[in-house]
A = this chain, B = another copy of it.
Amino acid sequence: MATLGLIEYKDANPEVRAVYDEIMATRKTEWVNNFWKALAHDPATLRRTWESIKQIMAPGALDPLVKEMIYVAVSVTNQCGYCLASHTAAARKAGMTDAMFAELMAVVGMANETNRLAIGYQVEIDEPIKT
């Protein structure tokens, strides 16, 4: 159970319910992730986090599936089990196939390896790619 517990819809105040309603409407689902029910103890953070995610994950220069896969890449790198489970599910819903998942994992694994080779060998940034 989450640190402060989870606030279910029936127990939520109007401010929290309004966010839950928006989440379900935007995502076209009948349920709300535990993540939001845990944040609901802090309605200001619940509202701000939802608004930010809605803005950031909307289609733009990158499509939603790419964005979800980037979310998974970060969650894997940080070893966040919850985030990984929820964003893997979201990426699948957005169209990620098993083959795409496998390639995503291969890239994330390799990037984590070469990040350490680059720092470990103390490689300096090449002149042509310096900003």
Q: Which residues on A are within 8 Å of B, measured CB to CB?
A: 1-4, 31, 33-35, 38-39, 41-42, 44-45, 48-49, 52-53, 55-57, 60-62, 66-67, 69-89, 97-126, 128-131
Give Cα distance in the complex from A44 to B106, angstroms: 10
CB-CB under 8 A from A38, the residues of chain B are: 118, 121-123
Determine chain A's interface SS by DSSP, over half rule.
Answer: helix
Q: Roughly how many angstroms separate A121 CA and B107 CA in the complex, as a whole number? A: 13
Contacts of A123 in B (CB 8 A): 2, 34-35, 38, 82
- Ordered by A's residue number, 26 sampled pairs between the chains whose C-beta atoms are within 8 Å are A2-B123, A3-B122, A33-B126, A34-B126, A38-B118, A53-B110, A56-B106, A61-B99, A61-B100, A61-B103, A66-B66, A67-B107, A70-B73, A74-B107, A74-B112, A74-B115, A75-B111, A79-B80, A80-B115, A80-B119, A83-B118, A84-B119, A85-B126, A89-B129, A108-B116, A109-B113
